[in-house]
Chain A
Amino acid sequence: MINIYEVAETNEMIEKENLDVRTITMGISLLDCIDADLKRLNEKIYQKIYESARDLVRTGEQISREYGIPIVNKRISVTPIALVGAAACRTPQDFVGIANTLDKVAHEVGVNFIGGYSALVSKGMTPAEEMLIRSIPQALADTERVCSSVNVGSTRTGINMDAVKLMGEVIRQTAEYTRQQDSLGCAKLVVFCNAPDDNPFMAGAFHGVTEADRIINVGVSGPGVVKTALEKVRGENFEVLCETIKKTAFKVTRVGQLVAREASQRLGVPFGIVDLSLAPTPAIGDSVADILCEMGLEYAGAPGTTAALALLNDQVKKGGVMASSYVGGLSGAFIPVSEDQGMIDAVAAGALTLEKLEAMTCVCSVGLDMIAIPGDTRAATISGIIADEMAIGMVNQKTTAVRIIPVIGKGVGETVEFGGLLGYAPIMSVNDFSCDGFVNRGGRIPAPIHSFKN
């Protein structure tokens, strides 16, 4: 039987170390809503989402209360809208109409984000996909809760450089359209390489076409728990360090598995995956950078950071895999800048640069995340940054992503405040030597060779 010390440990994690389930995300397929008539399409989308997810928030709160574990977000991901709207949409404005429908239903069912305003164009773009991409700035300016993502590359197809070039322009335009809110629109827009179909985390979540009609995916978190566990083994060797991370990750993931199973059962929706991620928040003590510091770095970004992060990422997976029957999504440590107090401090101290962040993305999940850059950064430079990050994902057979925010009207040294879970960030300097000639070539970068690995 459970003893008092085990109970105390669990409750300590929840109360003092910010252990929580970061999100329950319901994936909903909209393929059966496809209609050539735009009005009917919007009605069907609204109906399907509303009927599928109306109990999602209430169920999440119920589970949270019964087990005493906070479930921070309840969210929805849908089939990439470029596919769903292809038959009905004739102009980018038609797609914006669908974004408004998504926003409306998100408010109605009470979820704080809905993901899937997306296009998968890793090899080529259909006219509908291009229209959707061109509609993103307006869609994100018009809506509050809609999140958008575009997959522009994969290990099997290479990188669609036409899409990369376009995304540089789209990100700039999104920043312009939302300049009154410090270019907040860009915080809801992710560019991916090897995007997973079952990611529960925003802003990059969408419900892939390989998925079932409806599915429950859960994202766990708990950087604070790992940090506290590591405080107890300060100065010990790597073996002890790794064991401690693994054990902690196991415990954290088991909670996610429990919540996922319960939610799936109560909602009558099959369980998909648990995403084993260390997702930080701006709250003090809920930071991935603090774990790196606890391992012995003065700041995140100091020499040794990439190795420390590689170790952390791998041990989290090793511990988590055994704790859950199905693992998926992004699964790894997130290193967003604005959402992690330790990362913000590292940037402010001058320890962490964009280039170091890029190196870190080679060994952990996601990529250049929530990074504020000067508002006068040119579209081609943004495309160059995207291309670099996509190349890392393509060659290393992993997911990488770019979510950067050119903050219109602000420059290096200034700070931008996004509020809530999105946090705040010092604006980082960008290497602004030109890459126009490279970005403007047009076409694709071919898929890499899968042998002769060195």
Chain B
Amino acid sequence: MKRAIITVVGKDTVGIIARVCTYLAENKVNILDISQTIVQDYFNMMMIVDIGNMAGQYGDMVDDLEKLGQEIGVSVKCQKEEIFDQMHRI
């Protein structure tokens, strides 16, 4: 399974998760896990998603999500899972 990690960091506002999830649904990206915390009013969310069956190119999704983040005023990053696995698992 090919997985990616989406992180959203920024000021908490209404509809952040909704916007991201809508985009993912439209692009056939399945969400496997979501966790979130709020640290000092800052919204911090992480999603693990399955990009195995996604429509379109992975690189475009990275750009689209970044743009979407700019529209809502938060930072949205999408990175392949391996970078975290490599760093934090022996």
Contacts and interface: CB of A to CB of B under 8 A. Distances in A.
B87 A251 contact: yes
B59 interface: yes
Contacts of A10: 83-84, 87-88
B80 A7 contact: no
Contacts of A66: 58-59, 62, 79-80
Interface string B24-52: 00000000010111000000101010000
Those 7 A-B pairs whose CB atoms lie nearest each other, nearest first = A68-B79, A254-B86, A4-B46, A67-B83, A6-B88, A2-B84, A258-B86
A2 B5 contact: yes
A65 interface: yes
A65 B62 contact: yes
Contacts of A3: 35, 46
Contacts of A4: 35-37, 44, 46
Interface in A41-72: 62, 65-69
Interface residues of A, number: 21
A62 B57 CA distance: 12
Given A67-B83, A68-B79, 11 more contacts: A1-B33, A2-B5, A4-B35, A4-B36, A4-B37, A6-B87, A7-B5, A7-B46, A8-B7, A65-B62, A65-B63
Contacts, number: 64
Nearest to A13: B87
A330 interface: no
Contact of A67 (B33, B44, B79): B79
A48 to B, nearest CB: 29
B74 interface: no
Contacts of A67: 79-80, 82-83
Contacts of B85: 2
Q: Binding site of A, secondary structure by majority: helix, strand, loop or mixed?
A: helix
A68 B83 contact: yes
Contacts of A2: 5, 48, 81, 84-85, 88
A257 interface: yes
A255 B84 contact: no
Contacts of A440: none
The size bracket of the interface on B is 20 to 34
A255 B86 contact: yes
B77 interface: yes
B84 A7 contact: yes
Given A11-B77, A66-B59, A68-B78, A6 B83 contact: no
Contacts of A68: 62, 77-79, 83
Contacts of B81: 2
Contact of B7 (A11, A62, A255, A257): A11
A8 B82 CA distance: 15
Contacts of A258: 82-83, 86
Interface string B64-90: 000000000000011111111111100
A257 B88 CA distance: 13
A314 B53 CA distance: 45
A9 B44 CA distance: 12
A1 B3 CA distance: 11
A367 B34 CA distance: 49
A376 to B, nearest CB: 50
A3 to B, nearest CB: 7
B86 A7 contact: no
Contacts of B88: 2, 6, 9-10, 251
Contacts of B63: 65
Contacts of B35: 3-4
Q: Which of B33, B78, B87, B88 has the most CB of A within 10 A?
A: B87
Contact of A65 (B9, B48, B59, B82): B59
